[in-house]
Structure 1
Amino acid sequence: MTIAGPAVPRRLPYVAPLPLSAVRFDPASMLGSWQELNAVATIPHCLDNIRRTGVIENFRRLTEDDPPGKFLGFWFADSDLYKTLEAIGWEMGRSGTGQWAEVLSEVADLLENVQESDGYLNTYVQGTAGQERFGRLEQSHELYCAGHLVQAAVALHRGGGDERILAVARRVADLIVDLPLIDGHPEVETALVELYRETGDESYLRAAELQVERRGQETLTGGFGPPYYQDHLPVREASEATGHAVRQLYLAAGVSDLYLENGDESLLKAMERLWDSAFGSKMYVTGGHGSRHRDEAYGDPYELPPDRAYAETCASIAALQWCWRMLLATGQARYAEEMERALFNAIAASMATTGTAFFYSNPLQLRTGHDGSSEDAPSERLPWYDCACCPPNLARLLASLHGYAATSDVSGLQLHLLSAGTFATDTMTAVVETGYPWDGDVVVTVSGQGELAIRVPTWAADADLTVTGATVLVDPEPGAYLRVACEDGARVRLKLPMTPRLIRADERVDAVRGCVAIARGPIVYCVEQADLPDGVLIEQLRLDTSVPITEERVPDDLTPVRLRLAAIARPLDTDLYAAYQPDLPAGTPITVTAIPYHAWANRGPGAMRVWLPVATAR
């Protein structure tokens, strides 16, 4: 059975996503094991907490003649249920599980009973005295919640053939079609496009177009102002990523979806300009987005403080979803590269090894003495949040992750995310054997025939290629695709250099001037207080770049490759402000361990740094 993935254009894109049923990650690979953990731990954890926090009770009480109590949670709590339902839909398609059949039946009953005759469905508005439909669109998230319901319905329909929730979602969408309104939190745009793709009903595509065209009229003015709500400029005129990062990225994904269906080149040009802003001057080295806590927003260009990084988990997920749509639209490797950066760093860091604790924000530095008592900036991952948008968002991404790995076109197969597994088109199947991202040896065996394209990361300047039973069309170049014309039985071996490397930031990133970050392959590393000698604080460290970095292999699935760094522990000043000295004070040479950034805070709270001062820098 062919199972479509989370974004399936009807109009022929530059490259087309493979069906979910055509991709299988090796369960022993990093991505495959992550999906397994999501299925056995994260999705059940989300369901348990949705029940515990009253999200399902918000629906159940509306089925009674005299609803008891009051609405529980944030006014957009419905969306937490819907994202979890979406995760279930993709997981059903991935593994064929039927373990959540009773949950789906229960939820379908509730949705059908709570939904009003004209299609309206929002338990906060329906269950809170004095609330009017669409009366406070800056804040209410009504269309946002509706969008997540639609996406859940599409996933459940594709993954398990569920018709009941799809019918509920269509009635909601039919109501939206006739509304001359936009929401303060973009999201419904991608949902309406995908519902059009699933049903063929063009009214949903037209509704999505109107949602985008209405943006930029400054009709949403409360709170933090129009930029926060993505209502400050028409989408074709906006050239700088701004406002609430998740809202910006969700809107960009929706606009890109529209281009994929209507071919309006002005939309693609606008998204390319916006992408250059977001990824060229406002993204963290880990793939995080959003540098301001106050409004969960983008800051100025190059305003990227590591210790104040908000880098919300949902923003990294939204960035991956946008990059995927831009990849489908253009076939350009840079979009896949940024998907990988976010996936192996910012997104991977947001979940604990148990699959049941999470970061909401993802800083690149935690100071000694940090007060992590607030969930707005905790020192370690938490089981749940009052604003619980991130955990179920992770669940839905991971359940559908194999849908973002590869594409096809008339020539053959393109591999974008390098992972062990099996990837198939109508004419060829590629079996990939690799320990990537820890090992740079990627071996692809092809059955059938066609062109195989493998992305070569930009950091892989010295990649080595051997080919049997095939003809090399394009030699490996960093930041491009290696293209090979394969006959049946062809074997392609790509060796990517995994030597640790130092990264510097643009001089305009004032917060990390004089510092470097360390990466190996696609993985960004950090230093944790837990790995420092007794009596040495992380703030004392200066990296000695004259000494080569060495590797340490350990039997640990989370951190199988650790790095050993030469550093100098300099004495701390005794005064907050002291007289300037032209020569740096002497320090003690030490060797410290660096671990993958995504693994930090799994051993308890403690200080951490991604950007390390260089010993020769003031």
Structure 2
Amino acid sequence: MTTTPSAATVDGPASPTSQARARLRPVSLGDVRITSGLWHERGEANRLASIPNGLQRLHEAGNLRNLDIAAGLAQGEAEGPVFADSDVYKWLEAAAWEYARTGDEKLLADQLSVTETVARAQAEDGYIDSVVQIRENGQRYRDRPHGHEHYVAGHLLQAAVAQVRCTGRRDLLEVAIRLADHLVATFGPHAPADVDGHPVVEMALVELFRETGTQAYLDLAQYFVETRGHGVMASYGREPTYFSDRVPVREATTVEGHAVRAVYLAAGAADVATETGDAELLSALATQYASMERGKQYITGGLGARWDGEAFGDPFELPTDHGYAETCAAIGGVQWAWRMLLATGEARYADQIERMLFNGFLAGVSLSGTEYFYVNPLQLRVDAHAESERSPANGRRGWFACACCPPNIMRMFSSLSAHVATTTDDGVQIHQYANGSIAAGGLRLDVETAYPWDGRVEVTVREAPSTPVELAFRIPAWAGGATLDGEPVEAGDYARISRTFGEGDRLVLDLPMQPRLTQADERVDAVRGCVTIERGPLVYALEQSDQAGDAPVDDLRIVPGAVFEVEHRPDLLGGVSVVRTTGRSASPPPSAAPSPYPAVDTTSPNGRTASGGDVTLVAIPYYAWANRGPQPMRVWIPTA
């Protein structure tokens, strides 16, 4: 008889073994509860809207029918891209993490129904990829650069690990083990050198090793990491940069090529380094991450500067209106940063997770949870023309022909609580701030905060061991002037308190939340001479419907040294804090023509009217833009 695990004992998406060289240990999924505030509200939209709607969309798009056909339950031709199965597996993973949080029996029944079909579609030798099985007449591994067969397999393995951890059911795990055994028999040192064009199987094999203890899975993951960068793609007649195959992973000094591929590979390599104790590989990954953060990452945390190849560009090549910043890349960036945080314990990776989650990731889904952005630029010009389905000029979309992002968002939300805190032998580290509770390291803590709208974080001890224990608070690098229990603490590191705590003890962290202007790096040509508004962890943007008068957002300028005014608007965009400041219009507003972008809300956050060239700029959090229809927006603002 299968026993459903308690949520408090469920390991999250990355759970290093006890032998791994990890400085920090994840906290079980159910030991962190987010009970109110921004992340709770967005998580509820994911549970109530995104996940149910996602299953319906997978039916409508043909992803699930492909598996039915491969299973012999239906007839017809395969629909969608060659990696269509992967979207089903990401949905299954999201459903598993969500079930662990809520115990929703309908959600369990839905995932087990889909799992049954997957199991029936699997070939006798363990192979499964429904599109290849149908469309390619069973010709496996025919196109390694673009076939995505290992990519699809990786997402199945990740879903299987999530399902067994969250439900106790081995149904999908047995499918995953047969598939992984097939990969071990087919690839590795005993076969010609080969890798998949789209990494993710590396992360997945390591996690399957962690779940099952089968050494062969870790060995194959290590083989795939070490084999990339030795011209495999060139042997297929492909240019290797796109596939992160130009330079061996342990020799690379930066990230390049397709952004999602690159960060998925790096995350898998970090898993391998952690489990094998490979300090050289981990050091190389730290160098690559620093290079990405320094010159290949948008201020929103977005990754990928080029539409061409969905790729990283050259250093400081970060266009705003043509920036790609795929939502999946932000998710992959969080996955890489989380693994680097576990391996090193360095606060900068937790800072990175915060930036990517609140900005690059959160912008990818609507407030309703049912519409998405594939691409997340930092500017949409007046009269922008949508040249493709993915263009933000279309507004948010309910689904995509290539629907990798929506179910990826779902699984990120469902497992979000796993990224809040960690433990060491010394105590507990809090990395992300949200209203709720944490139970770890012998401590049970209540966390009360209105973060990210307010910087006050109150932690009350409800249970504690009778011996000294350390409680560490991340102080974001932007939080100069922060205090803990009234004492100054250093930004960009952890503030640590070690003592014997008693029930009812209260600690108060105050993070300064005054808006700040961030100057663009002079090497970024697209925004030289511009600034952006940040407040706390949030990057802000000017959206057309919030600006008074008829001045287009394209023409707005900010006055250096202007005073900021902050107002929390619970009635606007699900509840946001808006920032007002002084600006000017670069061109006189038309005297009679009405604005082509009237505010949808009848109560505009800006009650002031433009007078000549003087305007009041009103900024909203970047993540909330385009929830009132597509309209001009910009993050970087030229100075007046």
Q: TM-score surpassing 0.5?
A: yes
Q: Shift of the alpha carbon at 1:515?
A: 0.5
Q: Shift of the alpha carbon at 1:511?
A: 0.7
| Whole-angstrom distance in 2 between the partners of 1:412 and 1:517 | 38
Change (3 A) 1:101 1:552: closer
Equivalent pair of 2:622/2:635 in contact (CA under 8 Å): yes
| Whole-angstrom distance in 1 between the partners of 2:138 and 2:180 | 21
1:22 is aligned with what amino acid?
D
Structure 1 position 376 matched with structure 2 position 390: yes
Q: Shift of the alpha carbon at 1:572?
A: 7.2
Structure 1 position 412 matched with structure 2 position 427: yes
Residue in structure 1 matched with residue 31 of structure 2 by the alignment = 22
Q: Deviations over 1:31-71 (max 9, x none)?
A: 12221211111111110100001111001112339x63211
Residue in structure 1 matched with residue 304 of structure 2 by the alignment = 290
Pairs within 5 Å for 1:477-492: 477-486=490-499, 487-488=501-502, 489-492=504-507
Q: Shift of the alpha carbon at 1:103?
A: 2.2
Equivalent pair of 2:221/2:272 in contact (CA under 8 Å): yes
Q: Shift of the alpha carbon at 1:354?
A: 0.6
Within the candidate set 78, 83, 92, 1:71 is matched to: 78
Equivalent pair of 1:314/1:393 in contact (CA under 8 Å): yes
1:7 is aligned with what amino acid?
A
| Whole-angstrom distance in 2 between the partners of 1:130 and 1:5 | 37
Within the candidate set 332, 355, 363, 2:369 is matched to: 355
| Whole-angstrom distance in 1 between the partners of 2:304 and 2:46 | 26
Structure 1 position 203 matched with structure 2 position 216: yes
Equivalent pair of 2:146/2:197 in contact (CA under 8 Å): yes
| Whole-angstrom distance in 2 between the partners of 1:113 and 1:205 | 27
Equivalent pair of 2:589/2:612 in contact (CA under 8 Å): no
Change (3 A) 1:19 1:228: same
For residue 109 of structure 1, give the secondary structure of its aligned residue in structure 2: helix
| Whole-angstrom distance in 1 between the partners of 2:568 and 2:139 | 60
| Whole-angstrom distance in 2 between the partners of 1:553 and 1:82 | 39
Mark the runs of 5 or more structure 2 residues left unpaired by the alignment.
1-5, 188-193, 591-610
Taking structure 2 as the reference length, what is the TM-score of the superposition?
Answer: 0.91
Within the candidate set 564, 568, 587, 1:571 is matched to: 587
Structure 1 position 595 matched with structure 2 position 620: yes
Q: CA RMSD in A?
A: 1.7
Within the candidate set 91, 104, 113, 1:97 is matched to: 104
Within the candidate set 217, 237, 240, 2:251 is matched to: 237
Equivalent pair of 1:570/1:587 in contact (CA under 8 Å): no
How many residue pairs align between the two structures? 596
| Whole-angstrom distance in 2 between the partners of 1:105 and 1:429 | 34
Structure 1 position 421 matched with structure 2 position 436: yes
1:288 is aligned with what amino acid?
G
Equivalent pair of 1:430/1:444 in contact (CA under 8 Å): yes
Q: Deviations over 1:349-383 (max 9, x none)?
A: 11101100000000000000101362121321100
Q: Shift of the alpha carbon at 1:587?
A: 6.1
Q: Shift of the alpha carbon at 1:465?
A: 2.3
Pairs within 5 Å for 1:30-45: 30-45=38-53
| Whole-angstrom distance in 2 between the partners of 1:273 and 1:40 | 41
Structure 1 position 9 matched with structure 2 position 16: yes
More deviation, 224-233/44-53: 224-233
Equivalent pair of 1:324/1:339 in contact (CA under 8 Å): yes
Equivalent pair of 1:559/1:599 in contact (CA under 8 Å): no
For residue 370 of structure 1, give the secondary structure of its aligned residue in structure 2: coil
Q: Shift of the alpha carbon at 1:592?
A: 2.2
For residue 295 of structure 1, give the secondary structure of its aligned residue in structure 2: helix
Change (3 A) 1:506 1:129: closer
For residue 216 of structure 1, give the secondary structure of its aligned residue in structure 2: coil
Residue in structure 1 matched with residue 633 of structure 2 by the alignment = 608
Identity %: 45
Residue in structure 1 matched with residue 460 of structure 2 by the alignment = 445
Q: Shift of the alpha carbon at 1:259?
A: 1.2
2:133 is aligned with what amino acid?
Q
1:251 is aligned with what amino acid?
L
Within the candidate set 88, 91, 114, 2:95 is matched to: 88
Residue in structure 2 matched with residue 112 of structure 1 by the alignment = 119
Change (3 A) 1:224 1:134: closer
Within the candidate set 271, 292, 295, 1:281 is matched to: 295
Taking structure 1 as the reference length, what is the TM-score of the superposition?
Answer: 0.94
Equivalent pair of 1:515/1:613 in contact (CA under 8 Å): yes
Within the candidate set 140, 145, 151, 1:133 is matched to: 140
| Whole-angstrom distance in 1 between the partners of 2:166 and 2:405 | 22
Q: Shift of the alpha carbon at 1:227?
A: 1.2
Q: Shift of the alpha carbon at 1:130?
A: 4.8
| Whole-angstrom distance in 1 between the partners of 2:589 and 2:431 | 48
More deviation, 307-316/174-183: 174-183
Mark the runs of 5 or more structure 1 residues left unpaired by the alignment.
575-585
Change (3 A) 1:129 1:425: closer
Give the 4+ runs in structure 1 shifted more than 4 A: none
Q: Deviations over 1:547-597 (max 9, x none)?
A: 2111122223634210112111121799xxxxxxxxxxx961111211110
1:588 is aligned with what amino acid?
G
Q: Shift of the alpha carbon at 1:224?
A: 6.2
Change (3 A) 1:549 1:44: same
More deviation, 549-558/590-599: 549-558
Q: Deviations over 1:453-492 (max 9, x none)?
A: 000111111112217xxxx8xx520000010124113211
Within the candidate set 46, 49, 62, 2:54 is matched to: 46
Q: Shift of the alpha carbon at 1:280?
A: 1.1
